[in-house]
Amino acid sequence: MYIHNYDNTTGQYISTNLADADPKNQDRWLVPAFCTDIQPPERVRNEWPFFVDGAWTLKPDYRGQMLYRTENGEPAEILMAGIAPADAGLTTMPRPSDQYVWSNDAWALDPVIVAAQKRAAAMKEFEALIEAARAANTGKSDAYLAGLLSPAQVALFKAWAKYQTDLVDVIASASFPDDFAWPAKPDADAIAAQVEADARAKAQADADAQAALEAARAPQDTAAGE
């Protein structure tokens, strides 16, 4: 006959072995304390038999499995049978990412965390962009005020200054960071070309005006000579 050993405190099944015959009665078998001849029930994964109140019952058994804390998704482990993951604040499901929180027995995307991370990423990009813009104009303010910059340099200085203002306007908008677009960076070559084109146009306009003025004066000079 088989007998089944269980823990004297918890009733947890320990082992099965053959019973010893009663030396005083060979037709009987010895069943020591904390043993029973009642067959443990069939079990499946994550179950373990416990002998409670004279009968076997199945309790959770998650020993040796990787589990995760529902408070932060960190890995954990249960070392004793009879404890369900939920009772220990654990789950068998890994946390998909730090954007998820435990809610209603499942990991759920947290819109607050997602929004905070989205804003943090956008602000990090903003800081990099505005730092580059400040670096572009570093050391040029005094030269600009003193009139020491060339027309192209002045235009580029103003363009970088406006770019910084445009960046600030983006992060100050109500739609940031859900819907936004960074302004285009100043193009030094395009600005220089535009300044040169404007200068040529102004020079041509001044020449045309001077020619028109001289043409208007010619009849008057002729009349005065007569």
How sure is the predictor about 25, in pLDDT bands with cuts at 50, 70 and 90? confident
Domain that holds residue 97: 67-109
Residue 26 lies inside a defined structural domain of this protein: yes
Q: How many CB atoms are located within 10 Å of the residue 205 CB?
A: 10
The residues pairing with 51 across neighbouring beta strands, listed in sequence order, are 56
* 29 shares a domain with 16: yes
Tens of pLDDT, residues 27-59: 788 999 999 999 999 999 999 999 999 999 999
Residue 15 pLDDT > 60: yes
pTM of the model as a whole: 0.64
Residue 226 lies inside a defined structural domain of this protein: no
Q: What sign results for the dihedral spanned by CA atoms 58, 63, 66, 70?
A: positive
Tens of pLDDT, residues 65-90: 999 999 999 999 999 999 999 999 99
* 31 shares a domain with 10: yes
* 127 shares a domain with 154: yes
